[in-house]
Structure 1
């Protein structure tokens, strides 16, 4: 029994350290990219032993992959979970877009959107980290397209609406708002993007859809 208690305590301490490390690696990567991560650096910044952090992650690549997974969980919690109980339709699409703008503007990550920050870094590379970043991006793009497809099926968008094309345009607007804020310090992009998203949805919506 005593052994089990000690074991549980070690596991909990390990989990707490892992959460602490990943909070810091997400912050760093959103500003400097995943290439700015190293076990030695993060251990030093957090006052942890390098061997202890290494025991949790094992390699720089695994630290990067764990950071991507953690950032994806934060993204889902901030943007996706709030719409899960909403009925399918234009309002759900709009809430996803607004949620992204709030996530970026509110600096959930100090560098803005984590995935935009690391996408360019890994766009021309190969490997497991690049694949994880690309998959997260594909999931987001597909989520918007699927929400538009469902809104069309619900009769809230015109039957001739190209959901993939409209989704591409909406995501491009969201990306641009994040980039103009993070790179140029221009916060007006958020209002412009919000207005443009509503304009595009309004143009595709049937009468009474309430955009």
Structure 2
């Protein structure tokens, strides 16, 4: 086997492990990812699984990265073609609601679940979860500020307050879908976002 083929096979195996881990972690938490369980489910040895990551923490960080790639494709990249400001802010909210409504991750919002699991801890995994949220908040804030600058939101609008409220609505939607199985929640979330942003027919 050529070295190039060996690298390709290793990358393919790593991707398979990560995709399985993302599904498990979204419902059972990052701490629920055990090397032994993964080895059994994937038909691999423990050393074979561990060899791709080196440690459980490294595995958890890699899973966060993979989940981030999925979120970026499902939310950010769907909104990116829209014009900056209100059109993109609206698209980001719509894509976020759709992401939760369609159950992209079986356990709902991957990062909301990870935040609940790690927000009271210290360490690299908590820092990585916070960094994801900081980046998401930063994108929402940038588009909110652009909407203010363009006159689509009142000039005295506090972008940080808008982002706080939008994130609260999305977390409430996640809660309603996951805990209560409320299929009316996405429509409520869309109405709430439209009211906050002063939009009609959202």
Asked if 1:19 corresponds to 2:33, the answer is: no
Shift in Å at residue 149 of structure 1? 0.5
Q: Using structure 1 for the length normalisation, give the TM-score.
A: 0.91
**1:186 alignment counterpart:** 182
Paired position in structure 2 for 1:173:
169
Q: How far 1:210 moved relative to its partner?
A: 8.6
Equivalent residue for 2:75? 79
Structure 1 residue aligned with 2:26: 30
The match for 2:99 is 103
Q: CA RMSD in A?
A: 1.5
Partner secondary structure for residue 56 of structure 1: coil
The gaps in structure 1 that reach 5 residues or longer are: none
Match of residue 62 from structure 2: 66
Shift of 1:85: 2.5
SS in 1 for 2:16: helix
Per-residue deviation, 1:187: 2.0
User: Per-residue displacement from partner, 1:106-135 (whole Å, max 9, x unpaired)?
Assistant: 111100100011111101000000100111
Relative to 1, partners in 2 of residues 1:149 and 1:103: Cα closer, same or farther, differing over 3 Å?
same
Conserved? CA contact 1:149–1:163, under 8 Å: yes
Whether contact under 8 Å (1:101, 1:174) holds in the other structure is yes
Cα displacement string for residues 123-160 of structure 1 (whole angstroms, at most 9, x for unaligned residues): 10000001001111111112111110011112221111
Matched, 1:52 2:48: yes
TM-score (norm 2): 0.95
Aligned length, in residue pairs: 202
Gaps of at least 5 residues in structure 2 are none
Q: 1:23, 1:66 → 2: CA distance?
A: 10
Equivalent residues of 1:39, 1:59 under 8 A apart: no
Corresponding residue for residue 89 of structure 1: 85
Give 1:136-175 correspondences, 5 Å limit: 136-175=132-171
What secondary structure does 1:57 align onto? coil
| Higher Rg of the two aligned structures | 1
The whole-number CA distance in structure 2 between the counterparts of 1:159 and 1:178 is 31
Work out whether residues 39 and 63 of structure 1, in 8 Å CA contact, stay in contact via their aligned partners in 2: no
